[in-house]
Chains A and B, each alone.
Chain A
């Protein structure tokens, strides 16, 4: 009995479901069709003239395509903030960004032609230039913003307020001082605990260039790419010292104490003002991004590069949201003309 019953009901329902299928098919025919000629928009577009205000209202919505960016973790917050706005304006542009460190980005991705931009917290180095040349990757250098490399100590360390550049070098060079009283006699006789940037980081390279020079960086320190780790290490000990980009200190001013740096004209504390006025030397440094010229030949990438340079003077974004020093109007004009030349070269 069971089997005949099964076959019977199964047959009926199958018929019913076929009817339902037919109904759905009819619906499909009745309306709602799409065609498949989507493809590659964006090449024939006029592409805006770049120098117009940059409020985003000119949003050329015909732009489309991916933008691949890698590089410095210091520039990462700035670049990803600009990308966020650009992605909102152009729904068909598909940007992505990786935080690989300046050197890692150049050698693994940019100079092998896999990314369109590389961010760097120091200028490109000779061996990276050679690698790029070897692979036929041409690029231009754009200044993104200015960072004030910040030297921090524990907020409880009331015995220290500033250091001269020589004292800083004594703490961080390869034959570094062991205890604080070797630096200055009135400092306590306690061991120095050092927290700094890892050697893949542009911050590390810049610190060597600006402070240590030939002496080289000590290996006796906690090296990391994460500013949090440095901050937590320094916050954990009264005799610790660390350095990192200004953004972390800017967002958490109470957690750590920033030291004034004395480059011969008295101690200057890091701030947006002292860094943009040029008083905070030698630790205020430019941040860069390197677009590949070949990529600039694509209109959506050229437009993004223009948008980025426009945004480098945007105080709310660069200083307020990210914590870097915005570019001046002159710098921006200079960068824009460099960029326009490169775009012209690329799009010929």
Chain B
């Protein structure tokens, strides 16, 4: 036996070369993709914000007034001398290294187009260092408070704008009736039932709501006079949001705080709405943005003050705002030439134009937001429904089990079908056969939902499958029905995974062009869609068209600004979904 053992003389030596080579190969693979993407984004950002024309003085001014104080805030929050030393080392050393390397490449290899060493420093050293410090800073209490407040401000504005956009197409008058007759009584009954523990009131809530909604649909055309839009939004959204915030805070820190948290933003928002109406701004959107920003912000501030830790962190938004203002003042006072970004306010609020400097993306942004909102709801409902059925209700053996497996394989195959095919399906089925109209928002939303449905189903199935069977059996043993087990055990446990899959799928849907071309979505529209059945354009369609325009300003500046806008909206969408997911993860 001993003679057969190759290790008889000890274990010998194993070469480590392969392992090391493999490690570096995989490192190289990951770096290649990331660097390529990084270069693309850097150039798109330079074009969109016209950074190629930013003078070094301009960059330096804002570095000192905006980035510097922000970094100081993060370092102060992290309160770690080691981090401070490292950050200053990176910023200082990076400056020398980047300047030297950049000059060397320009001198000896080839000139680098549209980039100077200051910009290279900004993207290669300053941006990663800032991100790192923001991460480190956010782990301290001070930073957490600052970023929490900042997040609520930004998130509130984003959600306010999104809701305002959705109400461009959804009938506000119908919503007013539905809310007044259906939602409000149902919620009222339910809350009453809970507080007074009257189960009958709680059971009655759903039917009452349904009756109210039906009545609203019938009354929509009967009623002739409605309050103005501003009043409708105030009554149906601002007041409930404020009330919810007030209840929440009153629960935690007493009724004065509750009234303050609900009432103050509501008052500001109402005043803002009426002022905006006077100034010719879109009053309902102003109202929504103010109330959806104000209430969560006020609630957060109240909580931080209650806890009493890291209150100074609340100064972060003021620090940044002051940085922007001071920077602008200095630039103005010294007459420093500032870049003229393509991506500015008018780009986001104007219609497309034949003149590059006047071209805007507004109708396409609205179109994309509306479609993606509908796609999110549709694909989530259909995807989760299908996967729950396939995983929890279908038998695993017998002829039905075989059928299920065939179905599964087909769903998986559908995920690989090219998007043009879905476009054709949408054109034939939704646009022509069901008569939903060529190139309408409904047709597009249905088509894109179908397109991403396989991905949503598969990821939701994976998530449901990964819920340990012990949990189900445990729930069964408690005497729970299958519906109770699914609702109380499986879905909450699987929700983070389901959301992850939906986020990825939505990211694909928002960038699709081919199916939209097939269903006849317009290349360019000049007004935001005002109903689900009006023709619309989406951001990728408009960007693609601009990329084909003969003027160089369109192909570089306007297209780059469009790409950045698309990315920002995508990041915003994903960010909110990830927040939801993290909340679900914490909850379970």
Residues of A within 8 A of B (CB): 6-7, 9-14, 16-17, 20-21, 24-25, 27-29, 31-37, 66, 68, 70, 73, 76-77, 80-81, 83-84, 87, 94-100, 108-109, 114, 225-228, 247-248, 250-252, 321-323
Contacts and interface: CB of A to CB of B under 8 A. Distances in A.
B235 A9 contact: no
Contact of B524 (A25, A97, A252): A97
B267 to A, nearest CB: 10
8 contacts: A6-B251, A12-B250, A24-B231, A28-B235, A33-B228, A94-B525, A96-B526, A321-B354
Contact of A98 (B230, B234, B352, B439): B439
A20 B242 CA distance: 10
Given A9-B258, A66-B535, A98-B439, A251 B524 contact: no
Interface stretch (B210-218, B408-416, B549-557): B549-557
B255 A32 contact: no
B93 to A, nearest CB: 40
B221 A227 contact: no
A98 B521 contact: yes
Contact of B523 (A13, A97, A321): A97
B224 A37 contact: yes
A318 to B, nearest CB: 11
A321 B354 CA distance: 7
Given A20-B243, A96-B522, A96-B525, A84 B354 contact: yes
Given A20-B262, A35-B226, A114-B520, 17 more contacts: A9-B250, A12-B255, A14-B243, A14-B247, A17-B242, A24-B235, A25-B235, A27-B234, A32-B227, A33-B227, A66-B534, A84-B351, A84-B352, A94-B527, A95-B525, A96-B525, A247-B550
B520 A96 contact: no
B246 interface: yes
A249 to B, nearest CB: 8
B276 interface: no
B353 interface: yes
A68 B440 CA distance: 12
B286 interface: no
B259 interface: yes
A1 B534 CA distance: 56
Contacts of A70: 520
A36 B221 contact: yes
Contacts of A73: 548
B173 interface: yes
Contacts of B206: none
A248 B525 CA distance: 23
Mostly, the B contact residues are mixed
B239 A84 contact: no
Contacts of B229: 34
A226 B525 contact: no
B372 interface: no
A303 B310 CA distance: 65
Query: What 5 A-B pairs come out closest when comparing CB atoms?
Result: A32-B228, A96-B522, A251-B550, A17-B243, A87-B526
B354 A81 contact: yes
A24 B232 CA distance: 10
A25 to B, nearest CB: 7
Contacts of B354: 77, 80-81, 84, 321-322
A282 to B, nearest CB: 23
B401 to A, nearest CB: 44
B345 interface: no
Contact of B527 (A21, A29, A87): A87
Given A27-B231, A37-B224, A13 B355 contact: no
Interface size class of B (residues with CB under 8 A): 35 or more
Nearest to A13: B250
Interface in B492-543: 517, 520-527, 530, 534-537
A323 B439 CA distance: 29
Contacts of A13: 243, 246-247, 250, 255, 258-259, 262
B355 A321 contact: yes
A166 B164 CA distance: 61
Interface string B544-565: 0101111110010000000000
Given A12-B255, A20-B263, A80-B352, A36 B239 contact: no
A17 B245 CA distance: 11
Contacts of A247: 550
Contacts of A323: 550
B254 interface: yes
Interface string B289-323: 00000000000000000000000000000000000
Contacts of B258: 9, 13
Contacts of A76: 523, 545
Nearest to A91: B527
Contacts of A12: 250, 255
A14 B195 CA distance: 11
A99 B543 CA distance: 13
Nearest to B236: A24
A147 to B, nearest CB: 12
B548 A34 contact: no
A13 B262 CA distance: 10
A252 B550 contact: yes
B266 interface: yes
A96 B255 CA distance: 53
Contacts of A36: 173, 221, 223-226
Give the most central of B173, B225, B520, B534: most A CB within 10 Å: B520
Contacts of A28: 227, 231, 234-235
A20 B547 contact: no
Contacts of B134: none
Give the most central of A6, A28, A95, A100: most B CB within 10 Å: A28
B205 interface: no
A32 B535 contact: no
A146 B247 CA distance: 69
Contacts of B191: 14
B524 to A, nearest CB: 5
Contacts of A96: 439, 522, 524-526, 535-537
Interface string B333-354: 0000000000000000001111
A19 to B, nearest CB: 11
A226 to B, nearest CB: 5
A110 to B, nearest CB: 11
A10 B239 contact: no
B107 to A, nearest CB: 26
